[in-house]
């Protein structure tokens, strides 16, 4: 991997220590649970115990009588508050399916908020919540998205939308195919589970008429805008504040019922209102994700080329449509073809409500699911054509010569335009590094000796850098300290460090002199937060452009003061000096900043202050790519799977901090292993969730997580960004289930055995016994 | 996830503790030792004791000594005290081999041996060890002491024959002779999880044949117990694959496996056969 040379600590490409770590590793972090305001109330939510039912009455009188209880609300107390709207703006076709902060008429999943108790302390709130009596008439629950839809409301059914994408003539292609290969594949319901549960504090400052919310994450500005729309308040009168955040993964930081409730309660009760979610609530109230069933078929030519792909899928959306609308359906159908050419394609997504926790995005939404499905299909094609799985993939990869490769597919409002990349070339590098041919021989020998051991591969392309725009502000103070203000967000991914390194590169300073602001809507008017692997690509590029502007201004001012021209100057460790004569006359950035204050006689007609603000507009998302390879052993007696070796190859375009990228890949892989082998929200036929504690919802621990070998290349910088940056947040998870499933098939010698995740010991044992193994 | 209100007591003597227990047990008074099961259950409000009698300050409950041919484990002895052998000989090593399977390191620092036994989770390693090795439970109440053999102690899931006013003051495990062979196996989805099934086997050899076999199974049924059918299949046999498989199959056939949403009875039964066979192989190797 390329490393920077002749540069100062903390510039692009250096694996420097993270700026955000000292408080986090010394117990000085400030998470939402650590924030308190005088006179605050505590909120406890009363949730439905029924998956589906009609609310006949809610009796709050006993709860209200508990000393210390200030109010108990049901939906009638806030009947002027609209349902929670979509993050990217209103959508009349989906509006009917939105969730009110407190359920009206019907409850639609176990955990659906029905009442809210506000009390002087959290114990009293929880005591009183137990006394709220919900009279709910149970209705038949709908548990499976592939069952017949039910009536929803009016003429609408639980099939809220059909999302279809594709190109080319499917019928003709399949009619003329040499062979048609079909698989029926399921991805289980699981989700991102941050170490920190959610939390929110609403606070209304009547003196300034400002509503504040603490505990924001991921998309504070977007949530501010939605709150303003829902509560009819000006953006200048609503501020959201992000503190330390114990993980995001797509689910944390969306606008949920509880967030709206603390804000409305703060406004109406006149006291700050704090809500901290417990883990049991979290596992039934925060967004679930992933659950899809695909029935997918490939039209294959005689040489193994997949000339057509036809997919029909059922997406289990749960009880309501939350802030994401149909984004997961869009991304699934938009990215399913992955790194392959597939000249004809169609995917039809049945986007259906069920009586389970609402679903939305989770790290690598759409790609994680579709990669598993597609790679299962590619293995099936290889088996049907009696070809090597690698050879089938090679036959279908988009080549470097065809790049940039456009498709008539939409992903989040952007047409898919693959960045130049050498998919086959990276595959060659990966297979060479892991010694694929020797590995195959070794595994064959071990299998011949009775071991169940095998290897599998999963190829993918990622998408990152969702646009269209972002900006940043930089201010250099008179002491030469630098503040970078962004509308980004830090959910633990190292955002501050990445932004500081990017700014340090152009400002010629040590990255530790840079303070990065994020997630504070009162510091910057706009911002898109941290999602879709966009922060480093979009916000980072905006920071770079802004830093270049500030650098130019600093050199211009310095050139006048040093009586030379700006082109002859450079900045090293915060000092502007001549390129040719580093020991000659010089000025610090602080001295230059002082020369630019409004009252300075030296400033001339320059705008006051050493500062800048620049926008970056991207014309398409960036598309990094890679592959995963897993080697697993299977214990035929227990059905247990052990990952013996794991390998990730990924082209990042340009590394800001390789260590942090590795961290993203390793962390993503841990979650990928969870989805492949462990994590699953199961429900009883009555719709009762069966995994509401960590005893039943199994997250992999360090012991179950492999330590992967990583090949991080910078062979193809993105053509969409001046620095060539592509995103890193999701590649660790995208390929995991596909590679592990493929390796299990190989180990047990049953092609196509794995059709469902997670591959639990019990499921695998059943497969083995069905095949007499 | 805040517990319901309760009154907290911190006695310093056994007499004081059992007097408090006698007084409060009828109103759901409970003993608090390591709290690793009780406190989370209280946080979920699945347990709502009105009185907690904390025995951590009680003198003389931390004993871990050999008396009359048995290792005596007092009520506040922590799991972690078995990380190194608690006594010389085979038993000390056996307990050390088992303890690393109990939950996770921090939990082992606080959770207690007797607390696990009194809590009687079917998947508790110490419950299975107690059942397999014929431990004796020492129950103490205000009216005196009662000795309960392990075979009569575990009733069903989280239910024992301990009376509500009795403190499990001590567990006594008979020492094992130096020629005792043992094997332990458990299977769970993740390291530290409750076992889906587990087994502890011990036996000795006399004239090349197996004698005094103990085969205990935990996690698979509603309580841990010795499986007489499996022991009978093993007794008098020459150690080897045939004998081990016969015993393993007998164990699997004899048990009445629990079912839950994640695991069916057939899987638990098959798994138990595998684990018993492997434990016997371990013991022999």
Chain A nearest C-alpha distance from B146 (Å):
35
pLDDT of residue A532: 84
Let me know if residue B164 belongs to a domain.
yes
Question: Which pLDDT score is estimated for A3?
Answer: 38
Yes or no, beta carbons of A698 and B189 under 8 Å apart: yes
The number of C-beta contacts closer than 8 angstroms across A and B is 58
A637 touches chain B (CB under 8 A): yes
- Between chains, do B190 and A127 touch, taking CB under 8 Å as contact? no
Are B140 and B189 in the same domain? Answer: no
Sheet of strand A453-461: strand arrangement: A453-461, A625-634, A641-651, A709-713
CB atoms within 10 A of CB B81: 18
Is A138 strand, coil or helix?
strand
d(CA A437, CA A453): 15
Q: Does A694 touch chain B (CB under 8 A)?
A: no
Q: What is the rounded CA–CA span in Å between residue B220 and residue B227?
A: 12
The pLDDT tens digits for A571-591 are 999 999 999 998 999 999 999
Output phi, psi for A521, to 5 deg.
-70, -10
Please enumerate in sequence order all residues whose Cβ is within 8 A of that of B32, keeping only pairs 6 or more positions apart, or say none: B38, B39, B52, B53, B54, B55, B56
Considering the domain architecture, whether residues B35 and B85 belong to the same structural domain is answered as no
CATH number at residue B17: 3.30.43.10
Integer angstrom CA distances of residue A49 from A110, A281, A318, B3: 5, 12, 15, 20
Decide if A122 touches B, using CB distance below 8 A: yes
Tabulate helix, strand, coil % of chain B (nearest 5): 35, 25, 40
Q: Is B33 in the same domain as B69?
A: no
Token look-up 């070998």 returns A709
- State what percent of residues in chain A have pLDDT above 70: 99
Q: Is the pLDDT of residue A90 over 90?
A: no
Q: What is the mean pLDDT of residues A9-29?
A: 91
B91 in a domain, yes or no? yes
Q: Which residue, among B270, B253, B246, has the nearest Cα to B196 in the 3D structure?
A: B270
Q: Which of A277, A637, A693 to mutate to test the interface with B (most CBs of B within 10 A)?
A: A637
**Same-domain check for residues B170 and B77:** yes
Q: How far is A638 from chain B (nearest CA, A)?
A: 6
Q: What is the pLDDT of residue A260?
A: 98
Q: Strands (DSSP E) along A354-424, which ranges?
A: 405-411, 414-418
Instruction: Look at B267 and A690 and tell me if their CB atoms are within 8 Å.
Output: no
Query: What pLDDT shows up at residue A565?
Result: 96
The whole-number average pLDDT for the span B83-102 is 97
What Å distances lie between residue B22 and A3, A535, B57, CA to CA?
Answer: 71, 62, 18
Do A693 and B44 make contact, defined as CB atoms within 8 angstroms?
A: yes
Distance from CA of B259 to the nearest CA of A (A): 12
Of B43, B191, B262, the CB nearest to A696: B262
In the predicted model, what is the mean pLDDT of chain A? 96
Note whether B156 and B193 are same-domain residues: no
A-chain CB neighbours of B191 within 8 Å are 701, 703-704
8 Å CB contact of A637 and B263: no
Q: Which of the residue ranges A289-293, A461-465, B73-77, B199-203 would you say has the lowest mean pLDDT?
A: A461-465
B250-B256-B261 Cα angle (round to 5): 130
Question: Could you give the C-alpha distances from A625 to A392, A397, A464, in angstroms and in order?
Answer: 18, 12, 10
Token pair listed for A325 = 């609308």
B100 and B156 in a single domain? The answer is yes
Residue A642 at interface with chain B, using a CB cutoff of 8 Å: no
Please list every residue in chain B whose beta carbon sits closer than 8 Å to the beta carbon of residue A123: 2, 5
CA distance A506 to B76: 62
Is B187 near chain A, with CB under 8 Å?
yes
Q: What pLDDT, on the 0 to 100 scale, is given for residue A4?
A: 37
Q: How many domains does chain B have?
A: 3
Q: Which pLDDT tens digit goes with each residue over A395-447?
A: 999 999 999 999 999 999 899 999 999 999 999 999 999 999 999 999 999 99
Residue pair A18/A494 in contact by the 8 Å Cβ criterion = yes
- B259 inside domain: yes
pLDDT surpasses 70 at B70: yes
pLDDT for res A5: 38
Q: B130 with B223, same domain?
A: no
Which residues of A are less than 8 Å from B245 in CB distance? Answer: none
Q: Is the pLDDT of residue A761 over 80?
A: yes
The overall longest dimension of chain A from CA atoms, in Å, is 89
Q: Give residue A8's pLDDT band: very low, low, confident or very high (50, 70, 90).
A: low
Mean pLDDT of all residues in B202-227: 98
Chain B contact present for A123, CB below 8 A? yes
In percent, how much of chain B has pLDDT > 90?
A: 99
**How sure is the predictor about A9, in pLDDT bands with cuts at 50, 70 and 90?**
low
Q: Bridge partners of A460?
A: A626
**Edge-to-edge strand ranges of the sheet holding A306-318:** A159-167, A344-353, A306-318, A292-300, A179-187
Residue B92 shares a structural domain with residue B146: yes
Question: Looking at the structure, do residues B194 and B215 belong to the same domain, yes or no?
Answer: yes
Q: Do residues B27 and B101 both lie within one domain?
A: no
Domain interval for residue B277: 181-284
Selected residue of A33, A695, A759, A762 to mutate for chain B interface (largest B Cβ count, 10 A): A762
The number of helices, as runs of H, and strands, as runs of E, in chain A is 19, 30
d(C-alpha A535, C-alpha A541), whole Å: 9
Last residue of a domain, one of B34, B54, B74: B54
Cross-chain residue pair B192–A703, CB shorter than 8 Å:
yes
Q: Confidence band (pLDDT; 50, 70, 90) for A89?
A: confident
Q: Do B191 and A704 touch (CB under 8 A)?
A: yes
Characterize A121-140 residue by residue with b for buried, 16 or more Cβ atoms within 10 angstroms of its Cβ, and e for exposed.
ebbbbbbbbebbebebeebe
- pLDDT per residue over A317-365, tens digit each? 999 999 999 999 999 999 999 999 999 999 999 999 999 999 999 999 9
Residue A467 pLDDT class (50, 70, 90 cuts): confident
Interval A650-683: pLDDT, tens:
999 999 999 999 999 999 999 999 999 999 999 9
Test B189 with A762 for CB contact under 8 angstroms.
no
Mean pLDDT of B51-66: 97
**pLDDT of A21 over the 50 cut:** yes
A138: closest CA among A682, A687, A684, A689?
Answer: A687
Look at residues A58, A37, A105, A41 and name the one whose alpha carbon lies nearest to residue A268.
A41
Closest CA–CA distance from residue A685 to any residue of chain B (Å) = 11
Best B252, B267, B275 member to test A by mutation, with max A CBs in 10 Å, is B267
Same domain, B118 and B78: yes
Q: What is the pLDDT of residues A667-676, one digit of tens each?
A: 999 999 999 9
Residue B160: inside a domain: yes
- Report in angstroms the alpha-carbon separations of A58 from A86, A261, A301, B136: 28, 18, 63, 53
Domain annotation covers residue B2: no
Residue B17 lies in a domain: yes
Domain boundary among B147, B174, B201: B174
Q: Give the model's pLDDT for residue A243.
A: 96
Rounded Cα–Cα distance for residues A202 and A272 (Å): 6
- Tens digits of per-residue pLDDT, A131-146? 999 999 999 999 999 9
User: What SS3 state is found at B7?
Assistant: strand
- Please answer yes or no on whether A280 and B44 come within 8 Å at the CB atom: yes
- Rounded to 10 degrees, what is the CA torsion of A148, A152, A157, A163? -100
Last residue of a domain, one of B174, B202, B217: B174
Interface of B with A in 19-78 (CB under 8 A): 43-45
CB distance B45–A130 less than 8 Å? yes
Which of B274, B277, B280 to mutate: most A Cβ within 10 Å?
B274
Backbone angles phi, psi at A217, to 5 degrees: -155, 165
Chain A positions in Cβ-Cβ contact with residue B261 (cut-off 8 Å): 682, 684, 690, 696
Query: How sure is the predictor about A533, in pLDDT bands with cuts at 50, 70 and 90?
Result: confident
Claim to verify: residue B69 and residue B156 sit in the same structural domain: yes
Distance CA A764, CA A749 (A): 13
d(CA B274, CA A697): 26
Quick check: B1 and A278 CB within 8 A? yes
B109: left (phi over 0), alpha (psi -120 to 50) or beta: alpha
Candidate from B190, B196, B270 with C-beta closest to A704: B190
Q: Which of A123, A639, A693 lies closest to B2 in CB terms?
A: A123
* B1: in domain: no
Mean pLDDT of chain B: 97
Q: What is the pLDDT of residue B122?
A: 97
pTM score, whole prediction? 0.97
* Nearest CB neighbour to A127, from listed B4, B190, B263: B4
Q: Which residues pair with B8 in a beta bridge?
A: B52
Residue B274 contacts A where some CB pair is shorter than 8 Å: yes
Contact B5 A678 (CB under 8 A): no
Coil vs helix vs strand at A236: helix
Instruction: Write down all domains in chain A, each with its CATH number in brackets.
Output: 21-30+466-617 (3.30.365.10), 33-139+198-245+252-278 (3.90.1170.50), 292-465+620-770 (3.30.365.10)
Indicate yes or no: CB of B263 within 8 angstroms of CB of A762. Answer: yes
CATH number at residue B103: 3.30.465.10
Give yes or no for a contact between B77 and B112, defined as CB atoms under 8 angstroms apart: yes
Question: β-strand B64-67 against B70-74: which pairing, if any?
Answer: antiparallel
Report whether pLDDT(A81) > 70: yes
Those of residues 144-183 in B touching chain A at CB distance below 8 A are none
Of A123, A639, A690, the CB nearest to B261: A690
How far is the CA of A156 from the CAs of A12, A225, A313, in angstroms? Answer: 53, 28, 20
Kindly report, residue by residue over B160-173, the tens digit of the pLDDT: 999 999 999 999 99
Number of helices (H) and strands (E), helices first, in chain B?
9, 14
Q: CB–CB of A519/A535 below 8 Å?
A: no
Inspect the interface and report whether the beta carbons of A761 and B2 lie closer than 8 Å. no
pLDDT value of residue A6: 40
Report H helices in A385-494: 389-396, 423-434, 436-448
Report yes or no on B72 lying in a domain: yes
* A654 contacts: CB under 8 Å, gap ≥ 6: A12, A13, A714, A717, A718, A723, A724, A725, A726
- Strand extents, DSSP E, A100-191: 106-107, 113-119, 133-138, 151-153, 156-157, 159-167, 179-187
Residues A107/A55, Cβ–Cβ less than 8 Å: yes
Q: Check CB contact under 8 Å for B190 and A703.
A: yes
**Taking CB atoms and an 8 Å limit, are A279 and B194 in contact across chains?**
no
pLDDT of residue A667: 97
């Amino acid at each position: 991997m390329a490393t920077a040379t002749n540069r100062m600590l903390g510039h692009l490409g250096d694996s420097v220590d993270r700026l955000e770590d000292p408080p986090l590793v010394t117990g000085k972090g400030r998470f939402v649970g650590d924030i308190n305001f005088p006179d605050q109330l505590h909120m406890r939510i009363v949730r439905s115990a029924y998956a589906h039912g009609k609310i006949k009455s809610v009796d709050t009188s006993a709860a209200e009588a508990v000393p210390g209880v200030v109010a108990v609300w049901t939906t009638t107390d806030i009947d002027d508050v609209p349902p929670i709207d979509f993050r990217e703006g209103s959508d009349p076709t989906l509006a009917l399916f939105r969730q009110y902060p407190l359920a009206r008429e019907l409850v639609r999943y176990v955990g659906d908020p029905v009442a809210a108790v506000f009390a002087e302390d959290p114990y009293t709130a929880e005591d009183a919540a137990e006394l709220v009596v919900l009279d709910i008439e149970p209705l038949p629950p709908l548990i499976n998205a592939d069952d017949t839809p039910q009536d929803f409301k009016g003429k609408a059914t639980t099939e809220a939308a059909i999302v279809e994408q594709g190109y080319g003539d499917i019928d003709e292609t399949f009619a003329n195919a040499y062979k048609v290969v079909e698989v029926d594949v399921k991805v289980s319901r699981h989700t991102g589970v941050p170490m920190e549960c959610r939390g929110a504090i609403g606070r209304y400052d009547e003196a300034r008429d400002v509503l504040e919310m603490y505990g924001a994450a991921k998309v504070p500005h977007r949530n501010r805008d939605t709150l303003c729309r829902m509560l009819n308040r000006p953006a200048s009168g609503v501020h959201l504040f992000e503190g330390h955040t114990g993980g995001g993964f797509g689910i944390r930081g969306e606008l949920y019922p509880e967030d709206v409730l603390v804000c409305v309660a703060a406004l109406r009760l006149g006291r700050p209102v704090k809500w901290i979610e417990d883990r049991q609530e979290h596992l039934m109230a925060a967004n679930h994700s992933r659950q899809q069933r695909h029935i997918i078929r490939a039209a294959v030519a005689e040489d193994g080329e997949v000339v057509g792909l036809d997919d029909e899928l059922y997406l289990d959306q749960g009880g309501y449509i939350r802030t994401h609308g149909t984004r997961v359906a869009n991304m699934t159908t938009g990215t399913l073809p992955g790194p392959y050419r597939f000249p004809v394609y169609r995917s039809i997504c049945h986007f259906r409500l069920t009586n389970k926790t609402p679903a939305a995005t989770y790290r690598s939404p759409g790609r994680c699911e579709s990669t598993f499905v597609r790679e299962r299909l590619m293995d099936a094609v290889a088996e049907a054509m009696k070809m090597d799985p690698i050879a089938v993939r090679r036959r279908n990869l988009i080549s470097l010569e065809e790049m940039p490769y456009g498709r008539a597919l939409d992903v989040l409002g952007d047409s898919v335009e693959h960045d130049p990349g050498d998919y086959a070339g990276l595959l060659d590098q990966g297979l060479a590094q892991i010694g694929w041919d020797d590995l195959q021989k070794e595994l064959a020998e071990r299998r011949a000796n009775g071991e169940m051991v095998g290897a599998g591969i999963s190829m993918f392309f990622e998408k990152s850098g969702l646009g269209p725009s972002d900006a940043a502000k930089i201010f250099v103070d008179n002491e030469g300290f630098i503040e970078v203000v962004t509308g980004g967000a830090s959910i633990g991914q190292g955002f501050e460090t990445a932004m500081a390194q990017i700014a340090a590169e152009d400002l010629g300073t040590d990255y530790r002199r840079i303070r990065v602001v994020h997630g504070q809507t009162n510091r910057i008017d706009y911002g898109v937060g941290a999602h879709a692997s966009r922060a480093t690509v979009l916000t980072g590029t905006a920071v770079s452009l802004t830093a270049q502007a500030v650098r130019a201004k600093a050199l211009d001012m310095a050139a006048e003061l040093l009586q030379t021209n700006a082109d002859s100057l450079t900045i090293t460790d915060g000092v502007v000096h001549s390129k040719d004569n580093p020991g000659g006359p010089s000025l610090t950035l602080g001295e230059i900043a002082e020369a630019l204050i409004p009252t300075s006689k030296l400033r001339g007609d320059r705008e006051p202050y050493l500062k800048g603000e620049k926008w970056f507009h991207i014309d398409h998302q960036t598309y990094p790519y890679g592959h995963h390879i897993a080697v697993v052993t299977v214990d035929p007696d227990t059905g247990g799977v052990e990952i013996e070796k794991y390998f990730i190859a990924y082209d990042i375009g340009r590394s800001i901090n390789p260590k942090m990228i590795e961290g993203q890949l390793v962390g993503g892989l841990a979650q990928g292993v969870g989805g492949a082998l462990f994590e699953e929200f199961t429900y009883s036929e009555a719709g009762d969730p069966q995994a509401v504690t960590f005893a039943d919802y199994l997250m992999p621990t360090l012991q179950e997580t492999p330590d992967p070998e990583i090949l991080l290349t910078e062979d193809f910088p993105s053509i969409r960004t001046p620095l060539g940056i592509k995103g890193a947040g999701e590649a660790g998870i995208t390929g995991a289930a596909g590679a592990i499933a493929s390796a299990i098939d190989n180990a047990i010698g049953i092609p196509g055995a794995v059709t469902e995740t997670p591959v639990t010991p019990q499921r695998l044992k059943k497969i083995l016994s069905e095949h007499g193994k | 996830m805040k517990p319901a209100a309760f009154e907290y007591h911190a006695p310093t003597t056994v007499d004081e503790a059992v007097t408090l227990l006698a007084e409060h047990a009828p109103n759901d008074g409970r003993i608090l030792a390591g709290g690793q099961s009780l406190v989370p259950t209280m946080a979920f409000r699945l347990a709502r004791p009105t009185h907690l009698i904390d025995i951590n300050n009680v003198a003389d409950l931390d004993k871990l000594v050999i008396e009359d041919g048995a290792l005596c484990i007092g009520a506040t002895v922590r799991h972690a005290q078995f990380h190194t052998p608690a006594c010389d000989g085979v038993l000390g090593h056996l307990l050390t081999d088992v303890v690393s399977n109990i939950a996770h390191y921090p939990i082992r620092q606080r959770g207690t041996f007797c607390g696990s036994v009194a809590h009687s989770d079917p998947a508790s390693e110490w419950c299975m060890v107690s059942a397999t090795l014929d431990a004796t439970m020492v129950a103490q109440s205000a009216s005196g002491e009662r000795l309960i053999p392990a075979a009569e102690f575990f009733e069903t899931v989280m239910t024992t024959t301990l009376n509500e006013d009795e403190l499990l003051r001590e567990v006594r495990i008979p020492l094992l002779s130096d020629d005792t062979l043992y094997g332990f196996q458990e299977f769970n989805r993740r390291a530290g999880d409750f076992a889906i099934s587990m087994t502890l086997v011990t036996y000795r050899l006399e004239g090349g044949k197996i004698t005094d076999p103990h085969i205990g199974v935990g996690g698979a049924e509603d309580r841990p117990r010795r499986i007489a059918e499996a022991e009978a299949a093993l007794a008098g046999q020459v150690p080897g694959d045939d004998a081990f498989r016969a015993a393993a199959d007998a164990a699997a056939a004899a048990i009445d496996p629990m079912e839950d949403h994640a695991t069916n009875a057939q899987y638990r039964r098959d798994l138990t056969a595998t684990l018993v066979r492997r434990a016997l192989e371990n013991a022999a190797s």
